[in-house]
Amino acid sequence: MGLLTDLRSSIARAASTLFSEEDPKRIGIYGPPNAGKTTLANRIARDWTEHGDAIGPESHVPHETRRARRKEDVEIERDGKTVTIDIVDTPGVTTKVDYTEFLDHDMEKEDAVRRSREATEGVAEAMHWLREDVDGVVYVLDSATDPFTQVNTMLIGIIESQDLPVLILANKIDLEESSVKRIRDAFPQHETIPLSALEGDNMDEVYDKIAEYFG
Amino acid sequence: MIEMAEVKDPRDGVQIDLISAERMTGLTSMEKIRMILDGVRDGNIVILEEGLSPDEESRLIEVTMTEISPDEFTGLEIETYPRSEAADASFLDRLMGKQSAQKLTVIGPANQIETLHKDETLIQTLVSRR
């Protein structure tokens, strides 16, 4: 009897290791180009990792991030508990890329063409990650722009269809034209948290919600 | 693959393909995506009576990205009403596969179609010739 109990408990231990809740969840940071995804990813990394290394360069030129970048084992402490996640900063999703738009940012044609090619590869990569490799999504929107865009509609629909937990962040509240209400009205089925990733405004609430949603 | 009428000279105007839900039934996701992209790359506006599922939309974006090339094809513009029915569907509806019932969708070449206004119930689009 004692043997059987031992066996049962060791199986239970093995199972709990196999399906451990300790495995960090991979949280994809998604959104349209120039919403501030990398600025947010860098802030999270700076706030919660030992060396505080940046995940990627930030820029006003669209499609600065053209590869999905993962930062592992980001430990966020909330109410005495630690929530460990991997964050994946993804290229901004779009249905079109025109290299001539980069020419307006003082770029030579050759560089603009290369950037657009890398951007298209990055978007395809981001879509692949979304279908296969993330456990939850932080959806970042620029609160100073119209949220009623097709990309937002489609991406939120795709995320919902996969039953992934999603937290909507209304970024850039430091800008005068910012309207968090407009985003709440556009996606009333989800919780929207206002923030400025650049200025670090309201990050405490952001971390509370990340821990609540993905912990 | 589905046979389409020969494409007219773009100077004559803009060709619009209105594709019924019936015509889409029975096509695989990749066949649907191919049909849409072939039409759009010919400069046509493609209107789908029932649209695509979220998974098909995700693959459409992915395939579109692989086909973009400088001075040739800059991608597509796609329009549906903002809220997906999936969000409103009950668990039972979703179990019965009703979430795939999508809404009217307009797809066109990115350099020829421009959204003027969009809200939950109205989409206004400007279509130009090449």
Which residue in chain A is spatially nearest to B117 when comparing CA positions? A148
Spatial distance between the Cα atoms of A185 and B103, rounded to a whole number of angstroms = 20
Among all chains, which residue has been given the structure tokens 């001075």? B71
The domain locations on chain B are 13-127
A130 neighbourhood in chain B, CB within 8 Å? 58
Question: Are the C-beta atoms of residues A28 and B58 closer than 8 Å to each other?
Answer: no
Render pLDDT for A89-144 as a digit per residue (tens, 0 to 9).
999 999 999 999 999 898 999 999 999 999 999 999 999 999 999 999 999 999 99
Instruction: Report the amino acid identity of residue B85.
Output: E
Give residue B100's pLDDT. 46
φ, ψ dihedrals at A59, nearest 5°: -160, 155
Task: Count A/B contacts: CB-CB distance under 8 Å.
Answer: 95
pLDDT band for position B3 (50/70/90)?
low
Render pLDDT for A15-55 as a digit per residue (tens, 0 to 9).
554 545 567 899 999 999 999 999 999 999 999 988 778 89
Give residue B67's pLDDT. 96
Give residue A36's pLDDT. 96
Render pLDDT for B78-94 as a digit per residue (tens, 0 to 9).
988 755 444 455 555 55
- Measured between CB atoms, which of B54, B59, B68 is closest to A157? B54
Q: Determine the average pLDDT of the residues in A81-96.
A: 94
Spatial distance between the Cα atoms of A49 and A55, rounded to a whole number of angstroms = 11
Which residue in chain A is spatially nearest to B97 when comparing CA positions? A161
Residue A190 above 60 pLDDT? yes
Three-state DSSP at A184 gives helix
Residue A76 above 70 pLDDT? yes
CATH fold for the domain made of B13-127: 3.30.950
Across chain A, the runs of DSSP E, i.e. the strands, are 25-30, 69-78, 81-89, 136-142, 166-171, 192-194
CB contact under 8 A, B87 and A189: yes
Q: The whole model's pTM is what?
A: 0.85
Residue B65 above 80 pLDDT? yes
Out of 3.40.50.1970, 3.40.50.720, 3.40.50.1780, 3.40.50.300, the CATH code matching A26-214 is 3.40.50.300
CB contact under 8 A, B75 and A157: no
Question: Are the C-beta atoms of residues A84 and A24 closer than 8 Å to each other?
Answer: yes
CB neighbourhood size of A1 (10 A): 5
Render pLDDT for A154-169 as a digit per residue (tens, 0 to 9).
999 999 999 999 999 9
Spatial distance between the Cα atoms of B76 and B69, rounded to a whole number of angstroms = 12
CB contact under 8 A, B62 and A99: no
Question: Are the C-beta atoms of residues B83 and B120 closer than 8 Å to each other?
Answer: yes
Residue A81 above 70 pLDDT? yes
Q: What ipTM is given for this predicted complex?
A: 0.84
The domain locations on chain A are 26-214
